[in-house]
Amino acid sequence: MSRLLVLAALALTPILGHAAQSAVVESFPDLSGYVVALPPTYATKPVDNFATVIFLHGLGERTSDPNQLLNMAKKHGPNKLIAAGNTTFDNRSVVVISPILAAGKIWSWQNVCGFIDKMDARYRIDRNRLCLTGLSLGGGGVIEAGRTNPGRFSALLPICQTAPVSTASLYPFGTVPTWFFHNWGDPTVSKYSSTLFADAMAAERAGGASAATSSLAKYPHVNGNQTLAAATTMTGGFVVGGTWTWTTGRVTQPGSALMMTLYTANSHDAWTATYNDPAVWNWLLGQTRAGPTVAIAGAESVTVRGILHATASAVAPVGRKIVNITWKSDRDGTLGTGAVLDRDLSLGRHLVTVTAKDDRDRTVTDHVVVDRQVASASRVIFDLGSPSLYIEGGNNLTDPIAGSVVAAKDVLGQTTTIGATVIDAFTSSMAWGVQSTALYDLRIGTDALWCQRDVNPTAAVRLSGLTPTQSYDLRLYASREAADDRTTIYRIGGQERSLQVAGNTNKTADFLGIRPAADGSLVIEVRPGGTSQFGYLGVIDLTPIPGGAG
C-alpha cells in the first residue's frame, strides 16, 4: 500500500508548545502504521541527529483501523505523557516513534527491527542513542529485538515482558544497559518472565550461571518467605564480579548496567508508575551506545575559492575498527571516501558531511559549512593531451614534442602572464582516460601526454610568468583506463609526488604552497614509477594562494 499521511486528521493540537503527534498509515509487515512525535528542535536543527525512543505497545492496543492509530498509541507510555502535556521529550530533543500492530499480530524481532530500519532511513535518528521500551506484549518485543540485535540499542526497558523464559539463553544480549520492571503479584504475566531473563543476562555477563547471578537469591522477601514480595518496591542491580544487590525504591544502581525493579502490586499494570517517573526517563535517555567518533579538523564554517582540503579524524571503540569514511555535499552528492578530501565544489553554499562507520555498522557524522566562491586569484588550468579533445579558448597543450601555451586564461576567462612549455619531449598523446567529471570536464580529464620508460623515460613542462614572491597550490592529474600499474612520478625541485593513473577519477598529485624560482618559473618533471612502463600528465591545475605573497 502506498504511504498515506493522515497528519491533518489525526495530529493532536500542540500542547504547551511541543510538537504534535502524527499518525502515519503505512504498510509494514504486521503493522498498520505508526505514530511519531518530533521535538521542535527537529525543524530548527536540520543537520542534527536525535536521540530516539521506540515504544512497543501491549496486546490491547492492536488495531487495523487507520483512524485509531493515535488513540492506541496514547493509551499508555510516552505518547500518553506527550498528550497530557509532558515536555520531557521536547526538553531533551528526543524523537518518539510508536509502531502499531495490526489486529491479531504479535511483536517479533523481524517486524521490530525491520520497522526501525525504515525509520532510520526516514528520520534523523542518532544510532548511538536509540533506546527501546515496551509493556506486556511490547515488553516481549523489546526482549526479542534486543537479544537478536545486541549491539544496536543504547538501552532496553521492558515492562512485564512476555517473551518465553525457555528461550532466555538462545541469543546473547551483549552488555546493552537493561532495566526490567514487573509487579510481584502480576496475574497476567508471571514475574518470572522478567526475573529469569534478568538472570540469563547476568549469567551471560558473568561467564556462567551461579548463585550470584540469581536475581531473587538476595531479594528481601517479607519474613524470608519466598512466596511473598518485599514490604515495598525494591530495585536490584547486578555488577559483573559481584552479585545482585537490592535497594528500596525505584532507583538506579551505581555501577550496574542490568537492573530489575519489582513492585509489590498484584495487578498487571507496572507501566503507569514506571513511565510517570522522570528518573526512569533520565536513565533511559542518558544511555549512549559506544560508537565511533569523527571530527573534521578546522573551523565549522569555511570559505574556499578553489579545491576544498578537508581532513577527518575517526576513532573506533576499543576492540573495533573504522571500516569506512564517506564525504557528501548537500549540493554535489558524494564527494569521496577516506580521511582526506581534496575536491572542488560547485559555486554556492554547501553542507559537507563526513560519516564514519565501524565494523558493527555504527555510524557517526560531523559537518562543515563550505562557501565555494569564485576564485579571486587567477586559477589556471592547462589541458595536456590529444588534439581531438581540443577546447576552443582553453589552455590546450597538445604537441608532445614542443607544445607551448602563452598568456594562458584563468577560470574566469581573463588573460594572465602564465605560460606552459614542453621542455623535455613526451612520447605521444592519448585520449583513453576514465570517463568522469569528478574533478574536470570530460575533454580535460580524459586525455594526457605520456612518456615511455624504454623510449624516453622522462618528460618535463616548464611553467613561466609566475610571481616569484607568490605561493601556489599546484595539482597534477591524469587518468588511463587500465588494470595494471600506471604509477607516475612528478618532481618539482626537490619534491616528488606519485599518482596511480590507472582507473583514476578523483586523485591528484598535490604540491601545496610551492613557490616559483626567482625568474617566475616552475619545472614539472614526469617519469614512470613502480612497475609502470608509462608516465602521464593530463592536467596542470595552478591556484595562487590568497595572502600567499610576501
Q: Are strands 125-135 and 333-337 parallel, antiparallel or unpaired?
A: unpaired
Task: Region of 547 please: left (phi>0), alpha (psi -120 to 50) or beta.
Answer: left
DSSP summary character for residue 435: -
The SS3 of residue 202 is helix
Domain 380-549 falls in which CATH fold? Jelly Rolls (2.60.120)
Looking at residue 548, what is its pLDDT? 60
With both helix axes pointing from N to C terminus, report the angle between 137-148 and 109-122 in degrees, rounded to the nearest 10.
Answer: 80
What is the per-residue pLDDT across 156-199, written as a single tens digit (0 to 9) for each? Answer: 999 999 998 888 777 678 889 999 999 999 999 999 999 999 99
Task: Report phi then psi at 513, rounded to 5.
Answer: 70, 25
pTM: 0.59
Three-state DSSP class for residue 345:
coil
10 pLDDT exceeds 60?
Answer: no
- Residue 495: CB atoms within 10 A of its CB come to 9
Residue 326: C-alpha distances to residues 286, 335, 345, 357, 457 (Å):
28, 8, 16, 9, 37
How far apart CA 505 and CA 192 sit, in angstroms, is 61
Cα–Cα dist 343/477, whole Å? 12
pLDDT at 11: 32
**Region 262-277 average pLDDT:** 97
Instruction: Tell me the residue type at 62.
Output: R
Residue 83 three-state SS = helix
The reported pLDDT for the residue numbered 5 is 32
Give, for 137, the enclosing helix (H) or strand (E): helix 137-148
pLDDT at 344: 83
Local confidence band at 292 (pLDDT 50, 70, 90 cut-offs): confident
What's the confidence (pLDDT) of residue 375? Answer: 56
pLDDT at 7: 32
Task: Output the pLDDT for position 14.
Answer: 31
Tell the CATH topology of 293-372. Immunoglobulin-like (2.60.40)
What does CATH list as the number for 1-157?
Answer: 3.40.50.1820
Q: Provide the 8-state DSSP code for 6.
A: -
The reported pLDDT for the residue numbered 377 is: 52
Q: Does 293-372 match 1-157 at the fold level?
A: no
Closest by CA to 342, choosing from 497, 510, 480, 545, is: 510
Q: How far apart are alpha carbons 354 and 295 in whole angstroms?
A: 8
Distance CA 63, CA 69 (A): 7
- Average pLDDT score, the chain: 89
Q: Which of 456, 476, 463 has the alpha carbon at shortest distance from 528?
A: 456
Q: What is the pLDDT of residues 32-73, one digit of tens each?
A: 999 999 999 999 988 889 999 999 999 999 999 999 999 999
3-class DSSP assignment, residue 24: strand
Q: Report the pLDDT averaged over residues 459-468.
A: 94
Picking from 436, 416, 395, 327, the residue whose alpha carbon sits closest to that of residue 541 is: 395
pLDDT higher than 70, residue 547: no
Burial class (CB in 10 A: 0-12, 13-18, 19+), 328: middle
Range 271-278 average pLDDT: 97
Q: What are the residue boundaries of the structural domains of the chain, listed by start?
A: 1-157, 161-269, 293-372, 380-549
CB-based burial label for 337 (10 Å; 0-12, 13-18, 19+):
middle
Distances (CA, A) of 64 to 21, 53, 69: 19, 23, 8
Q: Mean pLDDT, to the nearest integer, of 216-244?
A: 93
Q: Lowest-pLDDT range, 34-43, 416-425, 442-451? A: 442-451
Single-letter residue type at 415: T
Based on DSSP, count helices (H) and strands (E) in the chain, helices before strands. Answer: 11, 33
pLDDT band at 393 (very low <50, low <70, confident <90, very high): low
Residue 235 grid cell:
530495585
